[in-house]
Structure 1
Amino acid sequence: MIKLESDRLLLRTLVESDAKNLADLMRRNKYFWSIHEPLHEDEFYTEEAQFKKILESMHLLRANREYSFGIYEKGSNYLIGHISLYAIKRLPYNSAFIGYSIDENYTRKGFATEAVKQVVEFAFQNVQLHRIEAYVSPKNDGSIKVLENAHFVREGLLRELLYINGRWEDHYLYSLLRYDYYS
């Protein structure tokens, strides 16, 4: 298990026993998150489905291909979000994507930015990445603010990148380079 700590948060890699809490988080935010992410079939929001996702994530973690963390306020066992460093590619890319979601009741408090900064530090210091990328909907002002507060740079618009809830949606591509982070 990997644990990362910031001023207010504890991030730790998800394990099998987190399946119920992860399913609860997914169900609580099903419609809130579906504004910018695909709405899934009902089965996706079950403990069994989340258990399988966690097992897959643990397998990818052992292969150093993905790091999926639960986000908790320090001193609490209440899951308020999740964040992943995923699709890790080694040279010649040495890059990964970052993705995150925060419980609707915990948005606009800086938790997402704090979590992103912790995972970025982990990515550059421990995983030794050169580049971290993120996709974000142009309509998702909150997530754009998170990325920009974490010093990500908007590189461009990817037209009709993702099929979300019956429509092709454009997304911005953001990135953060190792030397930008350390300068």
Structure 2
Amino acid sequence: MNFLLTGKLCYLRILTVEDAEEMVQLLVRNKEYWAIFEPKHRDSYFTAAVQREKIRESIYQARENREYSFGVFENGSDKLIGHISMYSIKRLPFLSALVGYSVDESYIGRGIATEAVKLIVAFGFEKIQLHRIEAYVSPRNTGSVRVLEKAGFENEGLLKEFLHINGVWEDHYHYAILEKDF
């Protein structure tokens, strides 16, 4: 289970337990920034022990072809600058999955998130043989909306009060890309 997806700006690699400390640093650096659009995490989430367990679980899920969690690494420096996952993988009659991602605040606006999404979409269609890949995004998250649209996703509608974030039920757009449009 050693997938490496390489782009011009970044590469994606399945996280290993050895990445737990660096993942904690990434999470702590972006705690406030990512909290704007993500559900709140307990303090224990920001520990190496919890991250090691999450990585172990994601490795198991990948072996079962249910989920693939990648670190986003900067080309050249090999620094962990984000994470991206393909999860909720469904087999026939759906052949679909969801994508979620986050990039270090200091790296936004450089095209890295767009490239990472394009890499994981190619992985989903070419390696996992999916028909459809979906993503949910807050209408307030204009940067992420641009990422999805640049990666070929289309807005399929608004999901009212879809996700509970910071004590409030928030609407989310439902984006998708089909294999034939890839």
TM-score by length of 2: 0.98
Amino acid in structure 2 at the alignment position of 1:155: E
Q: How does 1:1-183 map to 2 (within 5 A)?
A: 1-181=2-182
Distance 2:149 2:142 in 1: 11
Q: Distance in 2 between matches of 1:41 and 1:126?
A: 35
Q: Report the residue type matching 2:78 in the other structure.
A: N
Q: How many residues align?
A: 181
SS of 2:147's partner is helix
Gap regions ≥5 residues in structure 1: none
Deviations 1:115-143 (A, max 9, x none): 00011111100100000000000000000
Deviation at 1:75, TM superposition (A): 2.2
User: 1 CA distance for matches of 2:75 and 2:122?
Assistant: 18
AA of the residue aligned to 1:102 = V
SS of structure 1 residue aligned to 2:172: strand
State the Cα RMSD in Å: 0.7
Tell me, in whole angstroms, the C-alpha distance in 1 between the residues paired with 2:18 and 2:116: 22
4+ long deviations beyond 6 Å: none
For residues 95 and 39 of structure 2, the distance between their equivalents in structure 1, rounded to whole angstroms, comes to 28
State the distance in 1 between where 2:155 and 2:54 align: 30
1:161 counterpart letter in structure 2 = F
- Aligned-partner residue type, residue 93 of structure 1: F
Q: What is the alpha-carbon distance in structure 2 between the residues aligned to residue 95 and residue 166 of structure 1?
A: 30
Conserved 8 A contact 1:30-1:39? no
| 3-state SS of paired residue (2:77) | coil
Deviation at 1:164, TM superposition (A): 0.7
- By how many angstroms is 1:76 displaced? 1.8
Distance in 1 between the 2:78 and 2:179 partners?
32
C-alpha deviation, 1:39, in angstroms = 2.3
Secondary structure of 2:18's partner? helix
Distance 2:137 2:11 in 1: 24
Give the counterpart letter for 1:13 in structure 2: I
Distance 1:168 1:98 in 2: 21
Identical-residue share of aligned pairs (%) = 55
Q: Which residue type is aligned with residue 79 of structure 1?
A: L
TM-score using structure 1 length: 0.97
Counterpart code for 2:167:
G
Deviation at 1:41, TM superposition (A): 1.3
In structure 1, distance between residues paired with 2:40 and 2:107: 21
Structure 2: 5+ residue runs without aligned partners? Answer: none
* Code of the aligned partner of 2:152: H
